[in-house]
Amino acid sequence: MISAVELAADQRAAVRAMIERRILERRLAAGMHPSLAARAAERIYANTTDDESARTQAWALRDLMTDLGTAWTHARDRRAYLADLDVPVEHAHEALVAIMAELAGQELELLALDLPAGDEVAAAAIASTQAELQSTQMQLDLATPVENPLRVELRPMTETEFAAYRATAVEAYAQDLFDSGAFLDLESALESAATQTAHLLPAGRDSPGHHLWTAYDGHVPVGILWIFAGGDAAFIYDIEVRTDQRRLGYGREILDAGALAAGRLGAEAVGLNVFGHNDGARALYETAGYATTEQSYRIDLA
């Protein structure tokens, strides 16, 4: 029977560098562009550091007296995140069950974990669990030809357009976070959405590297697109077609226009996130050439 034993602080420090390296390597192996993989890894590192309201734990996974490997978790607000699990694939599921038991004993209610494409250990770990898909990371290789949109033109948001967008964007993002199961209550989701948006756009529409566009068909606004382009990779933070313009093909044209714009800004790849419940968006991205690089899941511990 496999048990999860928490490592002491000095042991945890000794394994952290190794775990951080694996977090990056798993995403590179999944086919993420190096810059997108590095950003994802850095975000995980930043979110798995102890503070007054959070706790990071390193675990040794053992079968009787035999060491099988390690795991790394981070807990905050009744939620835990499994940042790394390094055990032989045949022991992955039982190791995860042992970790879940320890976390449930701490009165945590939810465990989130990532499944990079091709990660056999993570896939085996969540097999036979009640894991629910929370979100999917996708990526477009800009070496792939992108169609020039026939109708859509991207124009920088005016101050008025940006104010109207921001007035609703935080609440919409919070609702997506809550609906995906990332948060246990809408209030926490709203707090996170507001914090993230303020961090990403400290100077509003003029924030460095961020491009906020209104998509037009002639003189008619049909949607919006928000892209961050830094170095050789870009990331779509938001894409939306206006309610009265949906099911007219504008979503694909906005995507293509964004990909072409990202290429002109020096990007080799474009990444995006789609929430687990949004099957229609995921299908659209697939038809536009985006491939899945990682999926995130949640498991109820209560």
The whole-number pLDDT of residue 290 equals 98
Architecture (CATH level 2) of domain 2-129: 3-Layer(aba) Sandwich (3.40)
How confident is the model at residue 204, as a pLDDT? 94
Residues of the chain with pLDDT under 50: none
At 46 the pLDDT is 79
Is the CATH number of domain 152-299 3.40.50.300? Answer: no
Q: Could you tell me the end-to-end alpha-carbon distance of the chain, in angstroms, rounded to an integer?
A: 22
Q: Which tokens belong to 37?
A: 């993989």
- Burial label for 129, CB within 10 Å (0-12, 13-18, 19+), is middle
Per-residue pLDDT, 208:
97
> How far is 72 from 65, CA to CA, in rounded Å?
20
Q: Look at residue 14 in the predicted model and tell me its pLDDT.
A: 84
Query: How far is the C-alpha of 171 from the C-alpha of 179, rounded, in Å?
Result: 12
At residue 52, the pLDDT reads 67
> So what's the pLDDT on residue 48?
72
Where do the domains of the chain lie?
A: 2-129, 152-299
pLDDT for the residue 51: 67
Given this chain, do its domains 2-129 and 152-299 carry the same CATH topology?
Answer: yes
Please give the torsion angle defined by the CA atoms of residues 133, 213, 224 and 209, in that order, rounded to the nearest 10 degrees: 10
Convert the pLDDT of each residue in 164-212 to its tens digit.
Answer: 999 899 999 999 888 888 888 899 899 989 999 999 999 999 999 999 9
- In terms of phi and psi (left: phi > 0; alpha: psi -120 to 50; beta: otherwise), the region of 118 is left
